[in-house]
Structure 1
Amino acid sequence: MIPKNYPRVIIEAVQPQIDCGRFPIKRVVDEKVVVSADIYKESHDKLAAVVKYRKHGAKVWQENPMVFVDNDRWQGEFEVAEIGPWEYTVEGYAERYLSWVDEITKKNVPGAILTSELLEGLAILKTSAGLAKGEDKAQLNAQIATIEGMMADEDQEVAIDQAICSTMQRLMAKYPDRSEGAECTPALQVYVIRPITRFAAWYEFFPRSQSTVYGQHGTLQDSRRRLADIKQMGFDVIYLPPIHPIGHAFRKGKNNSLVANPDDVGSPWAIGNEHGGHMALEPKLGTWSDWDQFVATCRELKIEIALDYVMNCSPDHPYVTKHPDWFYHRPDGSIKYAENPPKKYQDVYPLNFGTEDREGLWKEMLKIFLFWIEKGVTTFRVDNPHTKPVSFWEWVIAEVHKKHPQVVFLAEAFTKPKMMRLLAKAGFAQSYTYFTWRDSKQDLTDYVSELTAGPMKDYFTGNFFANTPDILPPILQIGGRPAFIMRAVLAATLSTVYGIYSGYELCENEPIPGKEEYLDSEKYEIKQRDWNAPGNIVAVITRINKIRRERPALHNYNDVAFLAADNPQIIAYYKMTADRSDIVICVVNLDPFGKQSSFIHLPLEKMGIREDEQFQAHDMLSDERYLWSGRTAYVELSPSGKMAHIFKIYRW
């Protein structure tokens, strides 16, 4: 069957888009979205294109022109001004006026009779005049009348000049005839997030360990007093493990012992007892008034609160009695506890998201989110999201964002790469990463390039935690203080979002022998620390965070550029702003045991530096300054001296 209508303009390969538009890309408020597409048409018509965009729910599209790049590739951009969902698309059309201008200009040679061509042009001009408004409409009609008068006087040359003059071209560009065009449908999606989602320093601590009295359970008031020191170090997100009542049944003792002593505090991840569940506070931490004061102090210090969202229930949780069907059952009818062989969590019952009462369970999980948002939580670090249906996360995150588009979700998903990527597509704005285990130069280069230079950069933001209560990586176990400094610099500068778990600044690194876990883990007991203990790296971390805040180049997550370095133990990379006004070069010794040196090779043309130009490299960590020129620079780093440089490049 011969089609009645068909697209005269072909639009293909629109970027960016995720899985053919199935999921939204992510951008920060006021960030540009650069859109490109292949746009072409049969014949030799001139083409034009626009990128169209609007906040979700708006009726009117805004649009910006696209420009031809090469080989039928077009590019345009727009800025997203508010958080929440937006949509964008591309429209391409045959530019009848410019095609006519091109044709009549080529034909306008001495002796040519172009009456027919002028009449064709007049028809095009009149179509645009019908679309114009106000003064533009009046001016177009006046120009058309002038051209018609010249044609009546057989003044062809002047009529053509009038039809293709700059004034006419300006007016016609504003009111093109788009009847021979096409629009990419359906529109593509972009979810706009707050800047702190893409640039933040996280600090994790257990409120129950904040007492200054040895052996005494800490409170929210103790935690309030700790906040100023954490802010002084430069952290802007406080991450709290679960702060809910802890179950009694099968409570774990110190070092995950199956037998707890009467004074053992248990694991915060075993949620629920007679005092309540996920929407209650552990009584030993304080009251809701204490919580409100903690929140108020965070706001005063401009610290945001991230809370661990854990869908675990102690056998004592109220859900177990009220909703036994929300849990997994063995053939004998008993409820199954959680397992991750060889690990067993006898104190935890996992929820069954496939329960027949799925609606009841899912709505209750949403209720928990909304409850804590009203209590001042702006970010949720979600525990093991990869063990729950992705469809649940799509639904619940969308529901939260309907009322609270500013809320941030972080996926604690140390799992297969495809699942980690899918969770990010489904709505998680941040994710834990494999950075914790990437030690070698090649591994770090490959992994960071995958995150920041490939398709993942449009939807996946990696939060580079240097350690966690669950993970004490081998490099920290064996590398001591130099390794802690080295990994802090890498985490804080390779990504724009990074975090540490308290004790990192004290270089705590005593493991369970043969495991990547802390001995005497804080997950099962209270710990009091001397924050001024000898060998601490508080000053180093404070300096790193100050540098991060002050240098715009380090706010750029995408496209980390690695530099060639002759020594495999030296990694070097740089970030710079789009206008190259801020260039930061980081050089790190990956060997915590020995001095390493290398020549690093600089792509001067990309940095906008001439071959014969002398420039200054200011090490913002040590405040030392070096004069460099040419494409190579020599560096030397040592555990007994400096483990890293963070250079700001100054040009004269």
Structure 2
Amino acid sequence: MTIDQDRDQDAPTVRTSPAAGSPTASPGPVVGPVVGRIPVLDVQPAVDGGRWPSQAVPGELIPVSATVFREGHDAVAATAVLVRPDGTDGPTTRMTCVNPGKDAYVATLSPDAEGLWGLRVEGWSDPYGTWDHDATIKVEAGVDVALMLEEGARLLERAAEQEGRPSRDATVLHEAATALRDTSRGDHERLDAGRTEEVRAVLDRLPVRELLSPSATYPVRVERELAAFSAWYEFFPRSEGASWDEESGCWTSGTFRTAAERLPAIKAMGFDIAYLTPIHPIGRVNRKGPNNTLTAGPLDPGSPYAIGAAEGGHDALHPDLGTFEDFDFFVGRAKELGLEVAMDIALQCAPDHPWVTEHPEWFTTRADGSIAFAENPPKKYQDIYPLNFDNDPAGIYAEVKRMVLLWVEHGVTLFRVDNPHTKPVEFWEWLIAEVNAEHPEVIWLAEAFTKPAMMHALAKVGFQQSYSYFAWRNQAWELREYLEQLTTESAHYMIPNFWPTTHDILTPTMQYGGPPVFKLRAVLAALLSPSWGIYTGYELIEHAARPGAEEQLDNEKYQYRPRDFAAAEREGWSLAPYLAQLNRVRHQHPALQQLRGTVFHATDDENVLCFSRRRVDADGTEDLVLVVVNLDPHASRETTVHLDMAALGRQWWDRFTVRDEITGAEFEWGEHDYVRLDPYVEPAHVFHVTG
């Protein structure tokens, strides 16, 4: 069904089914023959057959694979090609068959610029490979020797005359053809002249390709580096600089100006993004009190997620925080420090939001005439009205786009979207496409702790990053299983963002693990995922639990929470220096800036996790990081680590030097290595393999 509701000249046309011709649909693959002369099947990366683009960033090594074969026994080969945004062919490489007989071909390619690229795989008949195979057998058997040598000579002469062949390479081929015809040599010597490493290298650079059969071209969206590699720092601006007056018994809210004073410390810890929870007016009707109590006192600030009041809605600022001039000052100060600003998009309304009176059709009206508030039984959120996207989709779409572009105009470059899984997927596909068409620099993070199908769908339609289940994966087997899913099943389109805690999530592990668990979980989040984040107070090891809930006591959503960071650092119990070390290591090692390449290694103690990340660039430059973590925050663990030496690019007998990037200690390691990790001293080794 198609619903066209043109509210005004600029309102979007909303279609409920992308299959019906939704304007949000990403371009699919270039449609060609189902099977070419040389069949090319199972091309990856291809998200749902090319319905949506796979994701990458400039310089990322993209693994390409396909199944390529033909009838009969002639040799086949394959080439992987990246197509630039302007339609011209870009990086190209010959693929390698990794399992002869099963026809699986692989390669890696790397885009060098942002934009909507394409990927295709070309299958082709390989006459040199066929001749090499057949001539070797026949000359050895003394069958058709003269014929095979002459056919080889003619093939090499034809190859030498190919367009684009460098003169030096052409000379190599002509000389080989002459040697194949040299009857003064023995048959095997003549054959070997056509099969030298030099000849093979020349034909690898520019092969003879016959029956060229390209696959469809599959879209690859290449976005800026921060879309994949980022470190987020979340805080409530109203708490930064907030103060309590004993005489009046009142709080004074922090402002954008006082929040800006926190930015240098965020930068010093190595974070890239200063993420603000909602900064809009907060509703007064049904306002929640401390710890989500139903009744708020007259001075309780309420939850910033209950958006909207007489002062305005999603396009307004809470007056306690300051004016747009103050907000622009905050964004400008962040940019001066090399930080980008992210803000929350929470598409929900307090009962006194202007939308409730101006557009009652945007909400769900119950049988008794009341507007339905948000519920997640048995939880009730009386201070929030969810939007109903089915009543007036065109109106809601247009208003949300206007609101988002307003904040982009004020310098916001990233949006963390609250509960996107409770809104239509096609809405996000439309909104992200519309905004990124005008502002491709904008990055979207989905806060969707929900079923995998929905999380994956949100990533496919445009969200560059996604919150993950990391917070609840604590055992070694859980982490291995989860990372194996992320690095295989969804690696082409979903970039996970690991958060040990959030303002809503404080798992039992974090509640009772003490300082060691905060360090070890930071190591895992920062080094297992190229994108990670912390909620302010993590560096202070805040872990007081609210009884019966997976969240902190005195939740900052419902009250002011100023912190004395300076005192914690003076007294030596702040984790800020440790977090800065982790972010420094991340920036120094390209291997840690991509999800792919993660390998887990065996240990004799399941409480010790060992993993590596290896990256080898086209020029042969290697970066190899090896991490060993004690997952038990309560006791020292000692064990033997058994390394998969092949995964490290080493032989089983090799010895090499490892340098701990946290402590500076150096060791000589090999295939089997002893470790002892005391969580109260140092819960992890972060090794750079230097030898």
| Normalised-by-shorter TM-score class | 0.7 to 0.9
1:597 corresponds in structure 2 to: 638
Preserved CA contact (<8 Å) 1:307 1:381 = yes
2:6 corresponds in structure 1 to: none
1:128-277 → structure 2 map (5 Å cutoff): 180-185=211-216, 187-211=217-241, 213-214=243-244, 215-277=251-313
Preserved CA contact (<8 Å) 1:97 1:125 = no
1:410 corresponds in structure 2 to: 445
Change (3 A) 1:320 1:64: same
SS of residue matched to 2:122: strand
1:15-26 → structure 2 map (5 Å cutoff): 15-26=44-55
Change (3 A) 1:291 1:177: same
Q: Deviations over 1:198-251 (max 9, x none)?
A: 222111000000016333200000011110011111111111111111111111
Shift in Å, 1:55? 3.3
Select 2:553's aligned residue among 503, 515, 519: 519
Percent identity (aligned): 41
The one-letter code sitting in structure 2 at the alignment partner of 1:81 is D
- Are 1:325 and 2:325 matched, yes or no? no
2:576 corresponds in structure 1 to: 538
Change (3 A) 1:607 1:222: same
Q: Deviations over 1:158-213 (max 9, x none)?
A: xx9xx9999999799969676x443223x211111221222221110000000163
Q: Deviations over 1:4-36 (max 9, x none)?
A: 998422111212222222222111112233322
The one-letter code sitting in structure 1 at the alignment partner of 2:331 is V
Preserved CA contact (<8 Å) 1:83 1:406 = no
TM-score normalized by structure 1?
0.86
* CA RMSD in angstroms, aligned pairs only: 3.6
2:42 corresponds in structure 1 to: 13
The whole-number CA distance in structure 1 between the counterparts of 2:144 and 2:687 is: 68
- Are 1:483 and 2:517 matched, yes or no? yes
Deviates more, 1:24-33 or 1:411-420: 24-33
SS of residue matched to 1:582: strand
- Are 1:84 and 2:118 matched, yes or no? no
Change (3 A) 1:610 1:47: closer
Q: Deviations over 1:591-628 (max 9, x none)?
A: 22222221212233443456665543332223333x33
The whole-number CA distance in structure 1 between the counterparts of 2:585 and 2:260 is: 26
The whole-number CA distance in structure 2 between the counterparts of 1:429 and 1:511 is: 32
Shift in Å, 1:289? 1.0
The whole-number CA distance in structure 1 between the counterparts of 2:621 and 2:163 is: 41
The whole-number CA distance in structure 2 between the counterparts of 1:260 and 1:284 is: 18
1:432-451 → structure 2 map (5 Å cutoff): 432-451=467-486
1:157 corresponds in structure 2 to: none
The whole-number CA distance in structure 2 between the counterparts of 1:103 and 1:496 is: 48
The one-letter code sitting in structure 1 at the alignment partner of 2:512 is I
1:648 corresponds in structure 2 to: 688
Shift in Å, 1:112? 9.5
The one-letter code sitting in structure 2 at the alignment partner of 1:41 is R
- Are 1:51 and 2:80 matched, yes or no? yes
Shift in Å, 1:99? 6.2
- Are 1:575 and 2:603 matched, yes or no? no
1:598-637 → structure 2 map (5 Å cutoff): 598-609=639-650, 614-625=655-666, 627-637=667-677
- Are 1:67 and 2:103 matched, yes or no? no
Deviates more, 1:630-639 or 1:612-621: 612-621
The whole-number CA distance in structure 2 between the counterparts of 1:635 and 1:502 is: 33
Shift in Å, 1:590? 1.6
Deviates more, 1:528-537 or 1:201-210: 528-537
The whole-number CA distance in structure 2 between the counterparts of 1:613 and 1:563 is: 16
Shift in Å, 1:647? 2.1
Deviates more, 1:193-202 or 1:29-38: 29-38
Shift in Å, 1:580? 7.4
The whole-number CA distance in structure 1 between the counterparts of 2:648 and 2:269 is: 31
The one-letter code sitting in structure 2 at the alignment partner of 1:204 is E
SS of residue matched to 1:636: strand
The one-letter code sitting in structure 2 at the alignment partner of 1:265 is P
Task: Count residues in correspondence.
Answer: 621
2:625 corresponds in structure 1 to: 584
The one-letter code sitting in structure 2 at the alignment partner of 1:42 is E
- Are 1:561 and 2:599 matched, yes or no? yes
Deviates more, 1:524-533 or 1:97-106: 97-106
The whole-number CA distance in structure 1 between the counterparts of 2:145 and 2:664 is: 75
TM-score normalized by structure 2?
0.81
Change (3 A) 1:346 1:594: same
The whole-number CA distance in structure 2 between the counterparts of 1:39 and 1:220 is: 58
Preserved CA contact (<8 Å) 1:449 1:559 = no
Change (3 A) 1:561 1:270: same
The whole-number CA distance in structure 2 between the counterparts of 1:635 and 1:76 is: 36
1:295-306 → structure 2 map (5 Å cutoff): 295-306=331-342
Q: Deviations over 1:505-541 (max 9, x none)?
A: 1111111112111111110111111112353222222
Preserved CA contact (<8 Å) 1:588 1:645 = yes
Select 1:35's aligned residue among 46, 51, 64: 64
2:347 corresponds in structure 1 to: 311
1:155 corresponds in structure 2 to: none
1:460 corresponds in structure 2 to: 494
Q: Deviations over 1:462-481 (max 9, x none)?
A: 11101111111111111111
1:154 corresponds in structure 2 to: none
Q: Is there any run of 5+ residues in structure 1 with no aligned partner, and where?
A: 151-159
The one-letter code sitting in structure 2 at the alignment partner of 1:339 is E
Change (3 A) 1:41 1:606: closer
The one-letter code sitting in structure 1 at the alignment partner of 2:676 is E
Q: Deviations over 1:521-569 (max 9, x none)?
A: 1101111111123532222222222222223332232232222121222
Change (3 A) 1:78 1:601: closer
SS of residue matched to 1:491: helix
Preserved CA contact (<8 Å) 1:125 1:172 = no
1:322-361 → structure 2 map (5 Å cutoff): 322-355=358-391, 357-361=392-396
Change (3 A) 1:110 1:557: closer
Change (3 A) 1:385 1:135: closer
SS of residue matched to 2:262: helix
SS of residue matched to 2:49: coil
Preserved CA contact (<8 Å) 1:199 1:496 = yes
The whole-number CA distance in structure 2 between the counterparts of 1:171 and 1:602 is: 37
Preserved CA contact (<8 Å) 2:94 2:204 = no
Change (3 A) 1:485 1:65: closer
Preserved CA contact (<8 Å) 1:50 1:63 = no
The whole-number CA distance in structure 1 between the counterparts of 2:233 and 2:480 is: 25
The whole-number CA distance in structure 2 between the counterparts of 1:609 and 1:175 is: 31
Preserved CA contact (<8 Å) 2:84 2:90 = no
Change (3 A) 1:47 1:624: closer
Q: Is there any run of 5+ residues in structure 2 with no aligned partner, and where?
A: 1-32, 182-190, 245-250
The whole-number CA distance in structure 1 between the counterparts of 2:261 and 2:51 is: 46
Change (3 A) 1:74 1:111: closer
